[in-house]
C-alpha cells in the first residue's frame, strides 16, 4: 500500500516501478488469517444477534439479516397476530432485556466492580504510603507478607472463603461478591512501587504546609499516582466485570444480584429449542461495554491488563 512512497526501505529497481514487497505481503496474509480466526466469534455474535431464528437455522440473510418482519409465535399464542409482528433485530435485543433482567445484571456489574475498586484503593493507598515513605518497625515484615500473598491466587482459597461467606449467612448478597476482593495485595505492591519514585521533598513540603499524614495520602500522593491508579483501575474493573468463578460459587439463587457473566447461564440452562438471536444479543450487550472502552483507550487498557506483568 505504501510501497510507492519514498520513505519505505523497499529497494526501487531501475525501471522506476517499486518492487512488490512480497515478504511484507506474506506477513500480512499470515496475520490476516490469524486475525480472521480471532475475530470470527465476535462477527458471528453480532451477526446472529441481528437475524431471525429462520435465518439462523437456514444460515442465510448475510451479515445483518434481511430484517424481514415475522410473527412471534410465543406472543401470538395469547394475542392477535397483527400485534406480534416483529423486526428480528428489535425482537432479539428487546427479548434479551425482557426475558431476563439484563439491565439489572449490568447495573449489578457496575455496582460490584466499582465497590471493589473503591475498597481496594481505600485500603491499599495508606498501606502503600506507609510501606514506601514512612520509617517504622515491622515494615519489612509487612512488605514480605505482601510479596508472599502475591503468590496466592483467589482460586486457591475459594473453598474456605466460600465456607466463611456461608457461615456468615452472606450467600446471594452483594457483600459476598465484594468482600473477598476488597484486599488487593497486588494493588498495595503496585502503588508502593509507584510511591517509591515520588520525591521526598514533595512530602516534606506538604508537611511544612501543615497537611496531616492522612491528607498527604489523599491530597498529595493519590493525585500524583493518577496514571498508576488508572492502570490499576482498568486491571481491577476488567478482571471483576468478567469474573465468573467467584460469583458462580456464592450466587446460587436470587437472580436480582446476578452479575453479567452469570446472566449468560440463563441461556445455558435451556439449550434445546433455544432462540439463538436473543442469546447472542445478550452476549453482545455484556461484551460490548469493555470492547468499546478498549477501542477508545487502547494503550491504557493494554497497560492496565498486562500490569500483572510487573510482579
Cβ 83 to other proteins shortest distance, Å: 29
> Nearer Cβ to other proteins, position 91 or 189?
189
Give whichever of 72 and 285 is closer to other proteins, judged by the CB atom.
Answer: 285
Q: What is the C-alpha separation between 134 and 111, in angstroms, rounded?
A: 34
What is the spatial distance between Cα 107 and Cα 102, in angstroms, rounded to a whole number?
Answer: 9
Nearer residue to other proteins within complex by CB, 156 or 196: 156
Q: Residues 252 to 271: which contact other proteins by CB under 8 A?
A: 260-261, 264-265, 267-268
| CB count in 10 Å sphere of residue 26 | 10
CB 70 within 8 A of CB 225: no
- With respect to other proteins, which residue has the nearer C-beta, 91 or 146? 146
Site string for other proteins, 99-128 (x = CB under 8 A): -----------------------xxx-xx-
Using alpha carbons, select from 162, 194, 163 the residue that is nearest to residue 310.
Answer: 194
Of the pair 47, 66, the CB lying nearest other proteins is at 47
Q: In whole angstroms, what is the distance from residue 127 CA to residue 139 CA?
A: 10
Classify the C-alpha dihedral 244-246-248-252 as positive or negative.
Answer: negative
* Axis crossing angle, helix 102-133 with helix 185-196, rounded to the nearest 10: 50
- State the Cα–Cα distance between residues 192 and 131, nearest whole angstrom: 6
Residues 139-158 that bind other proteins (CB under 8 A): 139, 142, 145-146, 149, 151-153, 155-158
Q: How many CA atoms lie within 13 A of 21 on its CB side?
A: 15
Applying CB under 8 A, among 186, 195, 232, 301 the residue interacting with other proteins is 301
Q: Does 232 bind other proteins (CB under 8 A)?
A: no
The single residue among 102, 203, 229, 280 that binds other proteins, judged by CB under 8 A, is 280
Do residues 96 and 285 make contact, with C-beta atoms less than 8 angstroms apart?
Answer: yes
Alpha-carbon distance values, 181 to 87, 114, 155, 225, 266 (Å):
43, 11, 12, 22, 25
Q: Pick the binder of other proteins from 105, 117, 235, 241 (CB under 8 A).
A: 241
Is the CB of 114 or the CB of 297 nearer to other proteins?
297
Stretch 157-216 residues interacting with other proteins (CB under 8 A): 157-164, 166, 179-180, 182-183, 185, 188, 213
Which is nearer to other proteins, 145 or 205 (by Cβ)?
Answer: 145
276 is a contact residue toward other proteins (CB under 8 A): yes
Give least dist CB 197 to other proteins, A: 19
Q: Footprint of other proteins on residues 25-84 (CB under 8 A)?
A: 27-28, 30-31, 34-35, 37-42, 44-45, 48, 56-57, 59
Number of residues that bind other proteins (CB under 8 A): 93
Residue 79: CB minimum distance to other proteins, A: 29
Element (H, E) at 189: helix 185-196
Q: Which CB, 17 or 34, lies closer to other proteins? A: 34
Residue holding cell 493507598?
Answer: 125
CB of 78 to other proteins, least distance (A): 28
Helices 276-296 and 226-242: crossing angle in degrees, nearest 10, is 170
Amino acid at each position: 500500500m505504501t510501497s510507492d512512497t519514498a520513505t519505505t526501505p523497499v529497494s526501487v529497481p531501475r525501471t522506476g516501478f517499486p518492487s512488490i514487497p512480497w515478504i511484507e505481503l506474506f506477513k500480512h496474509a499470515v496475520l490476516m488469517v490469524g486475525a480472521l480466526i480471532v475475530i470470527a466469534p465476535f462477527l458471528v455474535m453480532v451477526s446472529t444477534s441481528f437475524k431471525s431464528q429462520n435465518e439462523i437455522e437456514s444460515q442465510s440473510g448475510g451479515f445483518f439479516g434481511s430484517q424481514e418482519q415475522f410473527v412471534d409465535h410465543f406472543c401470538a399464542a395469547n394475542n392477535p397476530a397483527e400485534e406480534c409482528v416483529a423486526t428480528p433485530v428489535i425482537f432479539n435485543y428487546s427479548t434479551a432485556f425482557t426475558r431476563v433482567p439484563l439491565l439489572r445484571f449490568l447495573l449489578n456489574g457496575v455496582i460490584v466492580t466499582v465497590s471493589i475498586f473503591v475498597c481496594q484503593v481505600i485500603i491499599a493507598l495508606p498501606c502503600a504510603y506507609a510501606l514506601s515513605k514512612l520509617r517504622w518497625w515491622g515494615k519489612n515484615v509487612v512488605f514480605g507478607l505482601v510479596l508472599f500473598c502475591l503468590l496466592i491466587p483467589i482460586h486457591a482459597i475459594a473453598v474456605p472463603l466460600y465456607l466463611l461467606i456461608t457461615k456468615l449467612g452472606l450467600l446471594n448478597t452483594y457483600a459476598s461478591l465484594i468482600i473477598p476482593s476488597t484486599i488487593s495485595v497486588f494493588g498495595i505492591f503496585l502503588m508502593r512501587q509507584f510511591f517509591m519514585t515520588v520525591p521526598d521533598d514533595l512530602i516534606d513540603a506538604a508537611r511544612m504546609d501543615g497537611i496531616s499524614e492522612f491528607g498527604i495520602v489523599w491530597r498529595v500522593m493519590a493525585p500524583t499516582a493518577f496514571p498508576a491508579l488508572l492502570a490499576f483501575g482498568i486491571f481491577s474493573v476488567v478482571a471483576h466485570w468478567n469474573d465468573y468463578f467467584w460469583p458462580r460459587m456464592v450466587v446460587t439463587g436470587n437472580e436480582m444480584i446476578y452479575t453479567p457473566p452469570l446472566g449468560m447461564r440463563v441461556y445455558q440452562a435451556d439449550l434445546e429449542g433455544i432462540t439463538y438471536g436473543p442469546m447472542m444479543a445478550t452476549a453482545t450487550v455484556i461484551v460490548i461495554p469493555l470492547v468499546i472502552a478498549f477501542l477508545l483507550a487502547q494503550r491504557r487498557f493494554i497497560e492496565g491488563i498486562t500490569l500483572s506483568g510487573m510482579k
